[in-house]
Structure 1
Amino acid sequence: MKFKSQARQNQLIEKITAQHLVVGIDIAQQMHVARAVNFRGIIIGDHLSFSNDEEGFHNLLLWIQKLPTTHRLSAAIVGMEPTGHYWLNFSRWLTEHHFEVVLVNPHLVKKNKENRDNTPSKSDRKDALVIADMVKNGYYLVSRKTPQAFEDLRVLLSNRDFVVKRLVSAKNQIHRWVDVVFPELRHVFKDITCVGSIATLRLFPTPAELSKLQPQNLIQGWKTIMKRHCGARKAKALIELANHSVGSQSASHYYKLHLNQLLAEYDLACEQLEVVEKEISTVLERIPFAKYILTIKGISVISLAGILGEAGDLSGFVHGNALLRHAGLNLAEASSGKWTGQMKISKRGRSRLRRFLFMATMSLVMNNSEFQAMHAYNVQFKKMKKMRSIMKLCGKLARILVGMARSGKAYMPQKTLPLLQAA
């Protein structure tokens, strides 16, 4: 399929022939609703409400099989919104039963709901009809089957995001605990979550306990946890600060209980994050072109895994611009007559894919000499603002990634900077 917007739209419309039954389904947690139209948008049959289980799916199958026979249609296409996670099992079941499944953008469904009746009313039956109309008009995306390795990456990255949120929350709560009970700890350890600080909080969390110790006692305690302790100077400084601490001295027993729970949550999150990232590296080894992409200086395992998990097999994109559109990083114009507005990114795509493409580009600008040169050229000679240059380099990265995936070739820096070399 062509990546230019107009050509792609024409192809999607041409796929809907006079022999097609177009089915729109409004997805919900327990009960789905289906409506059907022909290629001209004429409603066919009554609506169907069916449950989100195998019996309900078979009821839909019988309903779809009956309508083409009655109206002399020979093909069917099923459209739906990717609502939360409720559509996943249903879409997989339809694909296994040889139905063509397509997806419509929920934002577009909201924009098109007044087309038929010119009212802002909303219901499951109306939404199903709006979805069917959108599919008939070519406003849909073809649902591609994702290879197993990319599906694994998507699950692992979702899991990683959840673990990272818990880890950040645990760190923030530990910072709060230190500010309340022993704020002077920051004078010795600039990073509260460093090895020495965490070891101190595990062994002697409150100033009252530290003030009773000698430096050698603190060092002996550190040695039970750390291979290399923090030294006598820091031990002495901690004890002196503990003697004059302004931290809370009440409810010390329950503050210690709270800290133990926070440290347990912190340890669990760190352990789970290590396991998930190890699994991500293992899955990436199953993707042939991933090893070539990882040779690019500045591309990390997590950034690449995030891009592949959200975008799927990059060799399925005909051009890097198609990947940008999938991420919502394509440009949107606003102009009318003599007035020309500012160009902005559309943000009509996968937000997580945008995040990983942006993070990967920032890492390349900081660590990769080719991207550093392009960024400097954009800022100094083309007089671009820095953020505009970064967004332009996101497009460059997308084209490089898709090109490497489609060709199966290693990264060639000399091809990255042809214009700058000519200059």
Structure 2
Amino acid sequence: MKRTQNEKISQIKIETLVVGIDIGKETHYARAFDYRGIELAKLLIFSNTAEGFQHLDRWMRDICKQQEKTEVIAGFEPTGHYWFSLGDHLKRKGHKLAIVNPFHVKRTKELDDNSPTKNDRKDPKTIAMLVKDGRYRDVYIPDDIYQELREAVAERERLQERLNATHNRVVRWLDIRFPEFAGVFKKWTGKTALLTLKIFPTPAKVLEAGADKILATWRTVVKRSVGIKRAQALVKAASNSIGRTTGHVASDASLQNLLAEYELYHAQHERLEQLMLELLLQVPNAAKLLKIKGVGLVTATTFVGETGDIHRFEHPRQIQKLAGCNLVENSSGKHKGKTTISHRGRKRLRHGLFMAMIAILGKNPEFQELHQRNLTREKNPLNKMQSIIALCGKLIRVFYTILSKGVDYNPEKMMGDIQQPVKIAA
């Protein structure tokens, strides 16, 4: 992976056509320049359709023929999801892609005319000039299995949010209508509790049915033995309930809708996790990640999906930077600023690594030992958060080695470099 600005600038050669594109939902704007920043054609306005893409292809092809250019690098801002289709099209055509930071575009747009004006004609030029100067980021569009994993992880995240929201709404309903229910059942999501909420959701219906009928109903569905004592405890709780009773017809309907939503999302969630496992096992060496104590399906899938092909990285530090876990500091002269992580990069990868480390520290003895050493070492001890961030970097190195070299997780070898100094991270 080419990372330094010099290496990026060196990719812009005499025979390179630099195209800046301002992305829109329905219409895109493009301008073309050479390696010195001289504009080579008039502004192109094209639609976000197949015909528009073909128009762009002809426009670039004609310029390359007239100006004797042999390659194209197209730069654009990552404007939401609107660039996905165009990016895929340009990649299929064999063109290089470059993403520029929207903040950089905002800061440099006044260089040409000393005006804060922002419009669809000006932005493509600003983008192209940033690309020409090497101030861009290489675009990585995952192929096949890695894109599938990214989509699966994003969909699981969406379903998990829906499940959590529905769970909280059911808890709210119980707090209002039947607050004593939680004293009988620890979790309303259990099979017996869920059946009770479907058939006897309110204290009135519990009292009307009685303990014997409730027990008989439970035994028609729940295979394991269910005792009469729990049914009696439910009836007793219902007899002393302080839950609201007005508006019970509509509230019962609301609860049944919530339960149906929960079961739907839960079933979708389970099917998706099965799909995630099937996809993960298709990636070389990815199954080895699951053998690390504390590393689960979600952690492994998130890491592989967000990083993509591991062989595009030359060093695990590049993955650390991709996740925004690399260390940065603000220092000047005698002032030494506080060192923190950059928080620049793929947010889902950074969050996944952090949550994974929390789980790993609860189960994995090797990482637990490293954590304790970070906290108690004589020289420059870390606090808990600093240690967790440092161990996230360690986890990245472990994952990188396993995926790139195909080796199995070795606790002894993993502990071998614990003497390496660790910088403070906040």
Residues 357-409 of structure 1: per-residue CA shift (max 9 Å, x gap): 11222222221111111111001114201100111111111111112222121
Aligned to 1:76: 72
Q: Is 2:249 the counterpart of 1:256? A: no
RMSD: 2.0
Once the two structures are TM-superposed, the CA of residue 420 in structure 1 deviates from its matched residue by 4.4
Aligned to 1:268: 264
1:247 is matched with which residue: 243, 248, 253?
243
Change (3 A) 1:112 1:367: farther
Q: Is 2:20 the counterpart of 1:24? A: yes
Between the aligned partners of 2:112 and 2:385, the Cα distance in structure 1 is 42
Once the two structures are TM-superposed, the CA of residue 190 in structure 1 deviates from its matched residue by 2.6
Between the aligned partners of 1:160 and 1:298, the Cα distance in structure 2 is 20
Aligned length: 419
Aligned to 1:186: 182
1:407 is matched with which residue: 405, 408, 411?
405
Give TM-score scaled by structure 1 length. 0.94
Aligned to 1:278: 274
Residues 115-148 of structure 1: per-residue CA shift (max 9 Å, x gap): 4334333222222222111111112222345231
Once the two structures are TM-superposed, the CA of residue 259 in structure 1 deviates from its matched residue by 0.9
1:148 is matched with which residue: 137, 144, 148?
144
Residues 327-364 of structure 1: per-residue CA shift (max 9 Å, x gap): 11112221122112111211111111111111222222
Aligned to 1:41: 37
Unaligned runs of 5+ in 2: 421-426
Aligned to 2:389: 391
Aligned to 1:317: 313
What letter matches 2:413 in structure 1?
K
Report if aligned partners of 2:71, 2:95 keep a CA contact under 8 Å in 1.
no
Report if aligned partners of 1:196, 1:229 keep a CA contact under 8 Å in 2.
no
Between the aligned partners of 1:111 and 1:366, the Cα distance in structure 2 is 45
> SS state of the match for residue 341, structure 1?
strand
Report if aligned partners of 1:33, 1:48 keep a CA contact under 8 Å in 2.
yes
Give TM-score scaled by structure 2 length. 0.93
Between the aligned partners of 1:126 and 1:88, the Cα distance in structure 2 is 22
Between the aligned partners of 2:167 and 2:104, the Cα distance in structure 1 is 40
Report if aligned partners of 2:182, 2:188 keep a CA contact under 8 Å in 1.
yes
What letter matches 1:388 in structure 2?
Q
Q: Is 2:143 the counterpart of 1:158? A: no
Report if aligned partners of 1:299, 1:360 keep a CA contact under 8 Å in 2.
yes
What letter matches 2:193 in structure 1?
S
> SS state of the match for residue 172, structure 1?
helix
Between the aligned partners of 1:273 and 1:224, the Cα distance in structure 2 is 26
2:133 is matched with which residue: 119, 137, 152?
137
Change (3 A) 1:419 1:408: closer
Aligned to 2:287: 291
> SS state of the match for residue 213, structure 2?
helix
**Sequence identity (%):** 38
Unaligned runs of 5+ in 1: none
> SS state of the match for residue 77, structure 1?
strand
Q: Is 2:198 the counterpart of 1:202? A: yes
1:13 is matched with which residue: 9, 21, 44?
9
